[in-house]
Amino acid sequence: MEFMNVIKNRQSCRSFTGEMVTEKELGQIIQAGNSAPVGSGSYGDVQLTVIQNKELLAELEENAHKSLPGISEHPLYGLSTVIAVSCKKEDNTSVAWANASCIAENMLLAATDLGLGSIYLMAVPAAAQYSHELCRKLKLQDGFVPYVMVGVGRPQNEFEERKLTADRINIEYIR
Ligand SMILES: Cc1cc2nc3c(=O)[nH]c(=O)nc-3n(C[C@H](O)[C@H](O)[C@H](O)COP(=O)(O)O)c2cc1C
């Protein structure tokens, strides 16, 4: 896809068919995550976990629904592939959040390029951070917790065409 079309078509998808992405698609998304900028080039400070296990996805949903007020019963929207981006717990700093977000955005854009639906998820990992058991099940290295999750899959509905815009975010020009 032409780059600005990827940008235009990237939008949050909250309804998935449940059909699994292919290994090839997953591989490209993971490569995009690995190509993201990370502070000081410290790629060892971040970890990815690909979650395609139905039971674990259901546990993550239940944990978020029970521990965060106002969260729906299905905050993973029927996704069958969720990629957790984890960082060291004690690095709960702007750098760790920035690293996780750069990696997540690269994966969202790669998914869009493949014609997949995608979503940036913060509520589910925010709740999972406090569950030692869930962190263990995510196979995180010692001291790591999930910061962000990216969901990818086949969208239930076609995307509504969006227009590129320059007026969503307030901007000043200093020239
Ligand atoms: C930091 C951050 C946290 C987000 N957390 C969630 C979330 O937990 N659940 C969700 O459904 N969407 C989440 N989103 C998606 C936003 O709601 C969405 O990106 C925003 O409304 C703009 O819509 P668009 O992605 O379709 O352009 C999050 C996005 C960001 C950047």
C-beta 12 within 6 A of ligand 1: yes
Which spans in the chain are helix H? 3-9, 23-34, 54-67, 94-113, 123-128, 132-137
Nearest CA to ligand 1 atom 31: 120
- Spatial separation of the C-alpha atoms in residues 107 and 97, rounded to whole Å: 15
User: Residue 161's pLDDT is what?
Assistant: 80
User: Residue 91's pLDDT is what?
Assistant: 65
Tokens encoding 133 = 């058991």
Q: Is the sign of the CA dihedral 32, 37, 39, 44 positive or negative?
A: positive
Residue position matching structure tokens 């997540």: 104
- Tell me the CA–centroid distance for residue 11 and ligand 1, in Å: 9
Global pTM reads 0.97
- Tell me the CA–centroid distance for residue 103 and ligand 1, in Å: 15
Nearest CA to ligand 1 atom 14: 120
Task: Answer whether 140's CB lies under 8 Å from 47's CB.
Answer: yes
Nearest CA to ligand 1 atom 21: 12
Count of Cβ atoms closer than 10 Å to residue 89 Cβ:
15
- Tell me the CA–centroid distance for residue 20 and ligand 1, in Å: 22
- Spatial separation of the C-alpha atoms in residues 162 and 39, rounded to whole Å: 32
Q: Which of 83, 66, 72, 160 has its CA nearest to residue 120?
A: 83
User: Residue 92's pLDDT is what?
Assistant: 62
C-beta 11 within 6 A of ligand 1: yes
Ranges of residues in the chain with a pLDDT under 50 are none
User: Residue 160's pLDDT is what?
Assistant: 84
- Tell me the CA–centroid distance for residue 13 and ligand 1, in Å: 10
User: Residue 45's pLDDT is what?
Assistant: 94
User: Residue 1's pLDDT is what?
Assistant: 81
